Amino acid sequence: MTQVNSNTESRKGKHLTYGDMKQIEAYKKLDLSNRKIAKQLEKSPQTINNAIHNGTTKQRRQQKQNGKVYVQYYEIYSADTHFETYLKNRSQCGRRPKWVETDEFIEWADQKMLEDKWSPDIVVQKAKELFHDSIIPSTSTLYNWIDSGIMRTKNIDLLEKVGRKQRTTKNKARRNVTILGTSIEERPESVEERQEFGHWEIDTVVGNINAAEPVLLTLVERKTRFEKIFKIAGQRADDVDQTLKIFIESLNGLEAEIFKSVTSDNGSEFANLSNLSEETEVYFCHPYASFERGTSENQHKIIRRFLPKHHSLKEVKENQIQRIQQWMNDYPRRILDYKTPHQTFVQELRKLDLDLAT
C-alpha cells in the first residue's frame, strides 16, 4: 500500500527532495488537487504547481478495436522525470566562472608571467589599463586560477610563491666581525624611511664560489629601486674601487645630488668604501643583518631568476647583464604605485632639474 500521509516537517526556502517528488506522484495517482497536495506537504501551492509542470510528460496509449487502431494521448506526473529535470537545471544555474569569458586576458597573463617574469599582482594592475572591456580578476583570484590549473603558469614559475622560507629560531654561533666604518645606526631617519632621493645600497652577486670567478657588483637607489649592475673581475676591494670610481665619474660632478650615501655590509671587498669622495656618506650594516639591506636582497632575488646560484659568471656577456638591468628597471613595482624604477628615477632627476642619461 502506498503511503500518502506526510510526516515531513516544513522546510521553507528548500528545494523539493526526491522523496517529496515521490509523494507528489502518489498523491496525483489518488487524484488530489495541487492545493491539497501543497497542504499535505506543507508547501506553497505555487511550488507544487511548478513541480507538477516540470515533472509532467505526455504519454501515448494505443488501442485496437474492431480492426481499427486508436491513439490516445494523456499527461502524467513522474517523480523520476521531475528529478532529471531538476538535476539538469541545477547544472546550468549559477554565475559562470570569470575565466570562461576572459580568454584574451588569460593568454596575455600567461605570456607576461612565463616569458616576462611578471608577478600576478603586476599582471592584474597592468591588465586594468589594457583590457577596458574585459573582466579582470583580482590578484587573489588569479592566484586561485594558477592553483586550480586554469592557467599555463604554475606555482613553480612564480619566484615569490616558492622562494619564501620560514625563519629559523635556532641560535647560531657568530664569530666576531669588525665593522669597517660608520654604523648604520648613525644613518639619518630620512634615509631609513626612503624619503630622500640619492641614497644607495651596494652588494655583490656571486656565481660559482671560486676566487678566480668574476662577480656582479650591484647598486640600487633606495627610494626609486633603480638598479645598476656591473660585472667585475673578482670579489676584491680593488675591483670594487675601480668600478665605483668609473660610476662616480659618470655622474659628471653631480654625486652630491645623486650619490649622497651608500650602505654596505662588512665584506672585505668593501673595505675601502670609506675612502669615497667627500660628497658621499658610507654606512655599514651590523654583521649577519642582511635585512638591513632589504632593497638589495629583494633585487638579488630578481637577478637570480636569470642567473641561478652556482651559475658561472665567466660566460655571461655584458649585453646580457644590461638586458637584466633594463628588465629590472622597466618592471612595474607595487611599492611604486605600479610605476617602473626607471620612471621614478627620471622623475627624481627632473625634480632636481637634472638631465643625466640613465
Classify the C-alpha dihedral 7-8-10-16 as positive or negative: negative
Amino acid at 282: V
Domain-embedded: residue 212: yes
**CA angle in degrees (0–180, nearest 5) for 283-334-193:** 30
Nearest Cα to Cα of residue 349 among 281, 241, 254, 264: 254
From 162, 192, 217, give the residue that closes a domain.
162
My answer on whether 220 and 81 are in the same domain is no
Nearest Cα to Cα of residue 231 among 319, 104, 351: 319
From 92, 118, 133, give the residue that closes a domain.
92
Nearest Cα to Cα of residue 102 among 119, 87, 123: 123
The count of domains in the chain is: 3
Neighbours of 57 (CB within 10 A): 12
My answer on whether 321 and 195 are in the same domain is yes
DSSP annotation string for 235-278 = SSHHHHHHHHHHHHHTTTT-HHHH--EEEE---GGGTTGGGS-T
My answer on whether 137 and 218 are in the same domain is no
The boundaries of the domain holding residue 108 are 98-162
SS3 94: coil
Pairwise CA distance, residues 249 & 336, whole Å: 29
My answer on whether 155 and 243 are in the same domain is no
Residue 297: the pLDDT is: 87
Give one word for 239, left, alpha or beta, with left for phi > 0 and alpha for psi -120 to 50.
alpha
Nearest Cα to Cα of residue 58 among 82, 75, 39: 75
Instruction: List for the chain the helix, strand, coil content (%; round to 5).
Output: 45, 15, 40
Residue 111: the pLDDT is: 85
My answer on whether 320 and 226 are in the same domain is yes
My answer on whether 157 and 194 are in the same domain is no
My answer on whether 227 and 145 are in the same domain is no
Domain-embedded: residue 88: yes
Domain-embedded: residue 118: yes
Structure confidence by residue, pLDDT tens digits, 51-63: 888 888 887 877 7
Ranges in the chain, pLDDT < 70: 1-14, 90-101, 133-134, 159-180, 277, 354-358
Neighbours of 141 (CB within 10 A): 15
**CA angle in degrees (0–180, nearest 5) for 181-183-187:** 120
My answer on whether 330 and 202 are in the same domain is yes
Q: How far is CA 240 from CA 231, 236, 276, in A?
A: 10, 7, 11
**Residues 6 or more apart in contact with residue 36 via CB below 8 angstroms:** 27
My answer on whether 123 and 192 are in the same domain is no
